[in-house]
Structure 1
Amino acid sequence: MRTHYQLEGTPNSPVLIFSNSLGANYHMWDDLVPHLLPYFQVLRYDTRGHGHSTATDGEYSIELLAKDVIQLADDLGIQKFAFCGLSMGGLIGQYLGIHYGSRLTHLILSNTGAKIGDEARWTERAEKIAEAGTGALADEFMQRWFSDDFISTQKSKIAEMKAMVNRSSDAGYISCCAAIRDADFRKDLPKIFVPTLVITGDEDPVTTVEQAEYLADNIPNSHMYVMIQTKHLCATEKPEEYADKLVDFIVGTSKEERGMHIRRTVLGNAHVDKANSKKNAFNTDFQEFITEYAWGDIWSRPGMNKTDRSKITIAMLIALNRKDELKMHIRAAFNNGLTKDYIKEIIMQASIYCGLPAANEAIHLAEEVFLSL
């Protein structure tokens, strides 16, 4: 079994795993990723039988699909993670919450239910796919997945999603129909103890608001958010709102909470704890200003990843000859995925455009940092 995946983000950030819906693949999450990378390592994968993951023979179960997630996490050395699953992915998330809760930091159950449909529904769906192929139902899927307004105004995205459906494995789809058909977590929801966010679309015809309410009512430590004027794939319809709600849930709603999260992932807990321990009546306002505006406003922007921000910051600090800040950001650069060799190349480039004395100072400071690591 080969699980196709993509892991993005800086190594010191917590991991957030995304699980796709039936008939889609991990690209359904593409538009969310830039908004999430300031805060997380984002791990997207194709569920068994979808995308480029292997479509093994026979009927699948949600247990099997959930254990694929655990195996992937183990293979990547990820012990703890947040998990976001939509529709079928939400069923996988429920199984993980019930049986692998100790591995989860947070759980997002999106556009899903404890029980989705009945045996007749999934038997009929599988028979249609076997007869006509997944691609033949692409237009029908779009009507269920997206609001009328989205279909009429976002034609390129609709074409992209239809192409995704057309590329789907018929055998994999049919095997996953069996997994959804047999899944029923209604009696086990109280076993989920991890903090849980239930998200749904107000116009979702597949998994209704009532089904989301059932999840939220029966899972301890959970709450619910309804996205307006969206259907089944609300993450694709309104990715910025969806991503913002995930950050609210996992990180916090305020600029201070978000900024502190990013500050810690970049500079490290030890540095931030030391800085906080030195706060007093004179410098507290300035420390909060740094956290909220430098880290909460600028480092959180989706237009540039944290690795590139580290590169630029080091180069600018060389030019400005800010020794203490330069040492701090050279040390932090390792948390953002830079290497000694890459830092050396930044300094070499700076030697031409910032001057040899500035680069010479930077080389010595970098060596001091390397020796302290």
Structure 2
Amino acid sequence: MLIVGPSLGTGVKALWGPAIADLAPYFTVIGWDLPGHGDGTPVTEGFSIEELAAGVKALIEKLESEGQLDASQGLYYAGVSVGGATGYQLGISFPGLFKGIAPICTAAKIGTPEAWNERADLVEKAGTPTMVSGSALRWFAPGFIEKNPVVSTNLLHTLQDADRVSYAFVSRALAGYDVREQLGQISDPLIAIAGRHDAVCPPEDAEFAAARVQKGHSAVVETAAHLAPAEDPAATTQLLVDFFLGEGVAAGSDRLPGDTYDAGMVVRREVLGSEHVDRATSSSNAFTDEFQEMITRYAWGTIWTRPGLPRTTRSAITLTAMIAGGYWEELEMHVHAALRNGMTPEEIKEVFLQSAIYCSVPAANVAFKIGKKVLEEYEK
């Protein structure tokens, strides 16, 4: 049994309908709608994401009591955007309810409370049609609307037809949603799926969550933005089937849930910057792929994630090691990383001065030239 949840502004049929043919051989699919969206009944009072999660649990219990659902056969959950946020909350509030959870195109915190409350105020006064043009830009990857006019039109019509008051209540629920500090409580196997072109909840958000839950993994749908099941139903289904039914997360990958690779990729991006990491991984090929994976898993996922030292201290140690070894290209990269980790120029200077004594004056001389260059770039 697969329970699927919608995103803000969509109905579950319009969002998940394109994927049903792919999912049907593997799962009995049951969807739920947000209040005032799709088949959901409009509401007159506000609610929280926690209450949405409780509502999903109540739906499961109701279907069980009516004999329409047998939880003993195994329950799985997948939800998009606010439906994915509900997935995180389900894992926190009801551990063990699902054999696996897949938050899709979402994050442990989405946007800012101010932005959500402003949107709620606007839609409450002017209606959901005010959201159509902006959502068309955010929801779909470049070229999708032109190539898939029926799917995109169905989704945008669902948004236009959504109850404005209920839409505002969902927006206010997202304003109060932030489970970043609670992710470690999630013990169910979880795969956080992101769309490569998603500007709302980029892949970094999926990596962040996957690294912090107990049994997490992240994956990317390369052709999608914010509505992956509708944009690329085959790729989304393949990820769900592989993860939930134990076939391995992606074709050609032998990584398992909770692999240190995921935690390593989060830290690697935080320390070196996503632009650098994307360059390194995009230029990788069959000859270097395993080396890149080893670096991410062991250097970043095993050492840099350890709690015993603050990142500024780890940066100081790394700078010294680069100077001692004469690894000047790596030193330049790690001066940037040290600044990103919170080291001050004065602290970096002190590391270089000490290296003059313990490594060599010539080595420190080169280090100061590199450091000066990086700091000048940093100050521009």
TM-score for both structures, normalised by structure 1: 0.62
Matched, 1:70 2:64: no
Please tell me whether the aligned partners of residues 10 and 156 of structure 2 are also in contact (alpha carbons under 8 angstroms): no
Instruction: Name the counterpart of 1:207.
Output: 201
Please tell me whether the aligned partners of residues 38 and 162 of structure 2 are also in contact (alpha carbons under 8 angstroms): yes
Instruction: Name the counterpart of 2:24.
Output: 37
Runs of 4+ in structure 1 deviating by more than 6 angstroms, as ranges, are none
Secondary structure at 1:187 match in 2:
helix
Which of 15, 34, 39 matches 1:47?
Answer: 34
Aligned residue identity for 2:54: K
| Identical positions, percent | 31
Instruction: Name the counterpart of 1:25.
Output: 11
**Shift of residue 67, structure 1, vs aligned partner:** 1.0
Please tell me whether the aligned partners of residues 189 and 216 of structure 2 are also in contact (alpha carbons under 8 angstroms): yes
Please tell me whether the aligned partners of residues 114 and 215 of structure 1 are also in contact (alpha carbons under 8 angstroms): yes
Secondary structure at 1:43 match in 2:
strand
Distance 1:122 1:183 in 2: 10
Instruction: Name the counterpart of 2:131.
Output: 137
**Shift of residue 66, structure 1, vs aligned partner:** 0.8
Which of 40, 43, 60 matches 1:56?
Answer: 43
Instruction: Name the counterpart of 2:182.
Output: 188
Deviation digits for residues 98-150 of structure 1 (CA, Å, limit 9, x no counterpart): 11112111000111111111111101111221232112321211110001210
Distance 1:229 1:39 in 2: 23
Secondary structure at 1:102 match in 2:
coil
**Shift of residue 223, structure 1, vs aligned partner:** 0.6
Instruction: Name the counterpart of 1:290.
Output: none
Distance 2:213 2:137 in 1: 30
Secondary structure at 2:214 match in 1:
coil
Secondary structure at 1:83 match in 2:
strand
Matches within 5 A, 1:1-373: 15-27=1-13, 28-77=15-64, 78=69, 79=71, 81-253=75-247
Please tell me whether the aligned partners of residues 91 and 112 of structure 1 are also in contact (alpha carbons under 8 angstroms): yes
Instruction: Name the counterpart of 2:295.
Output: none
Aligned residue identity for 1:99: S
Distance 2:224 2:28 in 1: 27
Against the structure 1 CA distance between its residues 32 and 229, is the aligned structure 2 distance closer, same or farther, given a 3 Å change threshold? closer
List gaps (5 residues or longer) in structure 2: 249-380
Instruction: Name the counterpart of 1:345.
Output: none
**Shift of residue 165, structure 1, vs aligned partner:** 1.0
Distance 2:35 2:91 in 1: 19
Secondary structure at 1:108 match in 2:
strand
Kindly indicate whether structure 1 or structure 2 has the higher relative contact order, using CA contacts under 8 Å at least 6 residues apart: 1
**Shift of residue 26, structure 1, vs aligned partner:** 0.9
Deviation digits for residues 190-213 of structure 1 (CA, Å, limit 9, x no counterpart): 100101011001110111122111
Secondary structure at 2:10 match in 1:
coil
Deviation digits for residues 230-287 of structure 1 (CA, Å, limit 9, x no counterpart): 2111111100111111111111338xxxxxxxxxxxxxxxxxxxxxxxxxxxxxxxxx
**Shift of residue 221, structure 1, vs aligned partner:** 1.0
Secondary structure at 1:113 match in 2:
coil
Distance 1:44 1:205 in 2: 26
Equivalent pairs, count: 240
Distance 2:23 2:146 in 1: 27
Distance 1:164 1:251 in 2: 32
Please tell me whether the aligned partners of residues 11 and 155 of structure 2 are also in contact (alpha carbons under 8 angstroms): no
Deviation digits for residues 57-112 of structure 1 (CA, Å, limit 9, x no counterpart): 12210111111101110011043511101110111111110111121110001111
Please tell me whether the aligned partners of residues 109 and 199 of structure 1 are also in contact (alpha carbons under 8 angstroms): yes
Distance 1:123 1:185 in 2: 18
Aligned residue identity for 1:44: G
List gaps (5 residues or longer) in structure 1: 1-14, 255-373
Aligned residue identity for 1:70: K
Please tell me whether the aligned partners of residues 49 and 175 of structure 1 are also in contact (alpha carbons under 8 angstroms): no
Distance 1:130 1:51 in 2: 18
Instruction: Name the counterpart of 1:297.
Output: none
**Shift of residue 171, structure 1, vs aligned partner:** 0.9
Between 1:64-73 and 1:44-53, the stretch displaced more is 44-53
Aligned residue identity for 1:101: P
Instruction: Name the counterpart of 1:291.
Output: none
Secondary structure at 2:240 match in 1:
helix
